[in-house]
Structure 1
Amino acid sequence: MLSLVVLISGGGSNLRALLEAAQDAEFPARVVAVGADRDAEGFDHAEEFGIPTFSAALSNFESRDAWGEALLEQIQVWKPDLVVLSGFMKLLPPAVVSALSPNLINTHPAYLPEFPGAHGVRDAIAAGVTQSGASVIVVDNGVDSGPIISQERVAVLPGDTEHTLHDRIKIVERELLVQAVLDIANGHINLKELSLA
């Protein structure tokens, strides 16, 4: 059974998808804790499913590295097999990435390497493209630059706003994330091999 710590910053819709998938006794992964960089709304999902939570706000620390150390300590208490960044909007310090990688994955609302960064959906709309997408990647020290685990295209429709497009991308993102966790748990995806490729 693959144990997961999920890190969030907001509403936690991807987290909820994982929690719901894990309700199935056949699903080979369980969320053991949920962390955040603030008092995130998504903690409500964790509470509903009886999952412990923790938070570490960057503003409470004198440096990003000190914050990273504190966050890593809280993650490691749970000894997770996999850490999932799910709408986690802070860049992890290199020491944290090194400690957790390659068992550290992230979702991104674009078809990488297109539109990396915090505003992938807005950037796709601004660029006037006809399609964007969703990706699941292994986290490295770049910005959305790690090895791609899976991705899928999502059409940009005439009249789409950042909000309407993001809503459709989130549906695909959730499906990709749940499938990626399933494939990692079943050994169909080897994160170490993927990272060395």
Structure 2
Amino acid sequence: MAEKVRVGVLISGRGSNFVALEEWNRRGDRAYEIALVASNDPDARGLMAAKIFGLRIWAKSHKGMERAAFDMLMDAELRRHNVQVLALAGYMRLLSPEFIRAWEGRILNIHPSLLPAYKGLDTHRRAIEAGESFAGCSVHVVTEELDDGPVLAQAKLRIRPNETPEILAQRVLKEEHRIYPEALDTFCRTLRGEAQPTISSDLKK
């Protein structure tokens, strides 16, 4: 049996996508295992979930530090745990170009829009105000350009009449929890030579 790909998950808050990754991992024979959960906020709620799961954690505040210096510390810790792939799960701090280049092609992110549309923040309000018919989420490979890089998977939702950004966000989050684990597993299987990455898109009402 091929060895599991060691994944480092980066979080800044409640870590609901991290929890989805770990719970899905425990329900079957997956290609990845979470080797470390790292955060730039020692009080991030997701760290408690990581402790309950029995996972290794690393947390340090980035405040007062240059971006590249903080990322260098995090990079050293990830490598100390032999991490091979990174999964951003609500990590709310931009990564330095040096860090991204060091992990080029091995960082995944989940973004709450149908990329390449609505990069950045406040995606649901922007989509509703623009009169879009659909919203959704995308798993993509991280590059130095914000919310750019190849899209590995998407889930598409029809925006309902009079829907608020808050309600839409809740609906999209459920889809994030569904597609991110599968996309990460497929990506890791590709690294092991077992599968080719595919772009998927589901339409949900």
TM-score (ref. length: structure 1): 0.90
Structure 1 stretches lacking a partner, 5+ long: 192-197
Equivalent residue in structure 2 for 1:178, among 168, 173, 181: 181
Q: Tell me the CA shift for residue 174 of structure 1.
A: 1.5
2-structure distance, mates of 1:79, 1:146 = 24
Structure 2 residue 154 is the aligned partner of structure 1 residue 148: no
1-structure distance, mates of 2:196, 2:123 = 26
Equivalent residue in structure 2 for 1:77, among 62, 76, 80: 80
1:122–1:74 distance in 2 versus 1, CA, 3 Å: farther
Q: Tell me the CA shift for residue 25 of structure 1.
A: 4.6
Q: Tell me the CA shift for residue 76 of structure 1.
A: 1.7
2:15 is matched with: 12
Structure 2 residue 65 is the aligned partner of structure 1 residue 55: no
Query: For 1:42, what is the secondary structure of its paired residue?
Result: helix
* Deviations, residues 8-37 of structure 1 (Å, cap 9, x unaligned): 111111111111112135122111110111
Flag as ranges the 4+ runs of structure 1 deviating above 6 A. Answer: none
2-structure distance, mates of 1:128, 1:106 = 26
Q: Tell me the CA shift for residue 132 of structure 1.
A: 0.9
Q: Is the 8 A contact 1:89 1:118 kept in 2?
A: no
Structure 2 residue 117 is the aligned partner of structure 1 residue 114: yes
Name the aligned partner's letter for residue 48 of structure 2.
Answer: D
Structure 2 stretches lacking a partner, 5+ long: 199-205
1-structure distance, mates of 2:76, 2:125 = 34
Name the aligned partner's letter for residue 38 of structure 2.
Answer: G
What RMSD in Å do the two structures reach over aligned CA positions?
1.6
Equivalent residue in structure 1 for 2:30, among 23, 27, 31: 27
Name the aligned partner's letter for residue 175 of structure 1.
Answer: R
Name the aligned partner's letter for residue 133 of structure 2.
Answer: T
Q: Tell me the CA shift for residue 96 of structure 1.
A: 0.4
Which segment drifts farther, 114-123 or 11-20? 114-123
1-structure distance, mates of 2:182, 2:113 = 17
TM-score (ref. length: structure 2): 0.87
* Deviations, residues 140-197 of structure 1 (Å, cap 9, x unaligned): 0011011111112112112222221111111111211111112122222469xxxxxx
The sequence identity of aligned pairs, in percent, is 28
Structure 2 residue 132 is the aligned partner of structure 1 residue 129: yes
Name the aligned partner's letter for residue 102 of structure 2.
Answer: A
Q: Is the 8 A contact 1:56 1:70 kept in 2?
A: no
Q: Tell me the CA shift for residue 43 of structure 1.
A: 0.9
Name the aligned partner's letter for residue 44 of structure 2.
Answer: A
1:190–1:95 distance in 2 versus 1, CA, 3 Å: farther
1-structure distance, mates of 2:129, 2:69 = 36
Q: Is the 8 A contact 1:9 1:36 kept in 2?
A: yes
Query: For 1:58, what is the secondary structure of its paired residue?
Result: coil
